Structure 1
Amino acid sequence: MRRYLANRFAGMIVVIFLVLTIAFVLVRLAPGDPASLMLGPDATPEEVDDLRVRLGLDRPIAVQYFTFLTNAVQGDLGTSLFFDQPVVQVLGDRAEPSIFLALFSLVVALAIATPIGIWAAYRRGSAGDQISVTSAMLAASVPSFLTGLLFQRFLATDLGWFPVSGYGGPDAGFAERMGYLILPAITLGITNSALILRFTRASMLDILGEDYVRTARAKGMTERRVVLRHALKNAGIPIITVVGLTFALLVSGAVVTERVFNLPGMGNLVVNAVLRRDYPVIQGTLIVVAALYVLVNLATDLLYLVVDKRVKY
Structure 2
Amino acid sequence: MLRLLLRRFAGALVVLALVAVLVFVLTRLASGDPVALLLGDQATAADIAQARIRYGLDKPLTTQFVLWLGELGHGNLGQSIFLQQPVAQALVDRAEPTLFLALFAVAIAALIGVPAGMAAAIWRGSAADQAVSTVAMLGASVPSFWLGLILIQVFAVHLGWFPASGYGDPGTGFGQRLVHLALPAAVLGLLNSALIIRFTRAAMLDILGEDYVRTARAKGLAERTVMLKHVLRNALVPIITVIGLTVALMIGGTVVTETVFNLPGVGNLVVRAVLRRDYPVIQGTLLVIAAIYVLINLLIDLLYTVADPRIRLEGK
Normalising by structure 1, what TM-score? 0.95
One-letter amino acid of the structure 2 residue matched with residue 6 of structure 1: L
- Measure how far apart 1:300 and its partner are: 0.9
Whether contact under 8 Å (2:217, 2:223) holds in the other structure is yes
Matched residues in 1 for 2:61 and 2:110: separation?
48
Equivalent position of 2:95 in the other structure: 95
C-alpha change, 1:39 and 1:242, in structure 2 (3 Å) is farther
Whole-angstrom distance in 2 between the partners of 1:170 and 1:296? 31
Equivalent position amino acid for 2:302 in 1: L
1:56 match: 56
The reply to whether residue 147 of structure 1 matches residue 147 of structure 2 is yes
User: Please, what TM-score do these two structures have when normalized by structure 2?
Assistant: 0.94
Q: Supply the distance in 1 between the matched residues of 2:55 and 2:81 (Cα, whole angstroms).
A: 10
**Which residue of 2 is the match for residue 269 of structure 1?**
269
**1:139 touches 1:194 (CA, 8 Å); kept in 2?**
yes
In structure 1, give the amino acid aligned to 2:98: S
Q: Considering only aligned residues, what root-mean-square deviation do their CA atoms show, in Å?
A: 1.7
Corresponding residue of 2:294: 294
Q: Judge conservation of contact 1:38–1:277 (CA < 8 Å) in 2.
A: no
Identical counterparts, % of pairs? 60
Q: Distance in 2 between matches of 1:76 and 1:225?
A: 52
> What number of residue pairs does the alignment pair up?
313
State the Cα distance separating 1:109 from its structure 2 match: 0.5
User: Which letter maps to 2:262?
Assistant: N
Higher relative contact order (CA 8 A, sep 6+): 2
**CA deviation profile, 1:255-277 (whole Å, cap 9, x unmatched):** 11111111011111111111122
After superposition, residues 1-313 of structure 1 pair within 5 angstroms as 1-31=1-31, 35-36=35-36, 39=39, 42-311=42-311, 312-313=314-315
Secondary structure of the residue aligned to 1:110 is helix
Once the two structures are TM-superposed, the CA of residue 225 in structure 1 deviates from its matched residue by 0.5
- Code of the residue aligned with 2:160 in structure 1: it is G
Q: 1:96 to 1:133 in 2, by over 3 A?
A: same
Query: Partner amino acid for 1:143?
Result: P
Question: 2-side partners of 1:305 and 1:199: how far apart?
Answer: 20
In the TM superposition, what whole-angstrom CA distance separates every residue of 1:189-215 from its partner, at most 9, and x where no partner exists?
000000100110011011001100000
TM-aligned CA deviation for residue 41 of structure 1: 5.2
**Which 5+ residue runs of structure 1 have no aligned equivalent?**
none
* 1:136–1:197 contact (8 Å) kept in structure 2: yes
Question: Which deviations, in whole Å up to 9, do the C-alpha atoms of 1:125-169 show, x marking residues without a partner?
Answer: 101110110011111111111111111111122222211110000
Equivalent position amino acid for 2:171 in 1: D
3-state SS of 1:181 partner: helix
How far has the Cα of 1:62 moved from its partner? 3.8
